[in-house]
Amino acid sequence: MKIIKTAKYKKLAETQKEKKDFFNKRTKEHIKRVQDASKKIVNKYKEYKELLEQVEKHDDSKFKEPELSPYIELTWDKKDDPDAKSTKEMNDATMHHIKNNKHHPEYHLSDKSEANISSEDRDKSDKCVDASLMDDISIAEMVADWQAMSEELGTNSAREWYDEQKDVRWIFSEKQDKLISKLLKVFE
């Protein structure tokens, strides 16, 4: 009996290590893509050179609790099934992430309870997140993040994704919308 238990725990430990290794690899590759996209932005628009410093810490919070463990599971589950359902812990980690990272519009909300990740809420215009308080460097990091995700997923372009989300998920000012459009052109 002891040998079976030991083998079971060893297999469980190996699976956990595999999950963590996959998370680390995937997340570090994502961060590198964000940094590369940021370099392209700065090469075109030198006034955003501060962006390169900001993206040095891109997604750092994913490597610490309360985000780390749920993101390991989320990354693993999405590996084989992009439509895998999130658990409450995964949703809580995502909420923590978007409320604590400047490249997410939710970070800039004065009332963080207005943040949402629910797709059911996003189709109601009164539930849009007001992104108007985002600074230009955070917007540039957000655009670099979108570009990185576009490359990773290979589904739609960053612009297509933005066009689907604006005024549904987030509301940007006219000035911000022009900035986002300008920055997205770097990748077109």
Which tens digit of pLDDT belongs to each residue from 136-183?
Answer: 999 999 999 999 999 998 888 999 999 998 888 889 999 999 999 999
Report pLDDT for 124. 46
Report pLDDT for 4. 54
Cβ-contact 52, 37 below 8 angstroms = no
| Contacting residues for 186 by C-beta, under 8 A, at least 6 apart | 40, 41, 44, 45
Q: Which residue has the higher pLDDT, 118 or 63?
A: 63
Report pLDDT for 5. 55
Q: Which residue has the tokens 């501060």?
A: 50
Paired with 181 in beta bridges are none
Report pLDDT for 151. 94
Structure tokens at 76: 């693993």
Domain spans, the chain: 2-187
Q: Which of 172, 175, 111 is nearest to 146 (CA)?
A: 172
Helix (H, G, I), strand (E, B) or coil at 124: coil
92: left (phi over 0), alpha (psi -120 to 50) or beta: alpha
Q: Which residue has the higher pLDDT, 187 or 77?
A: 187
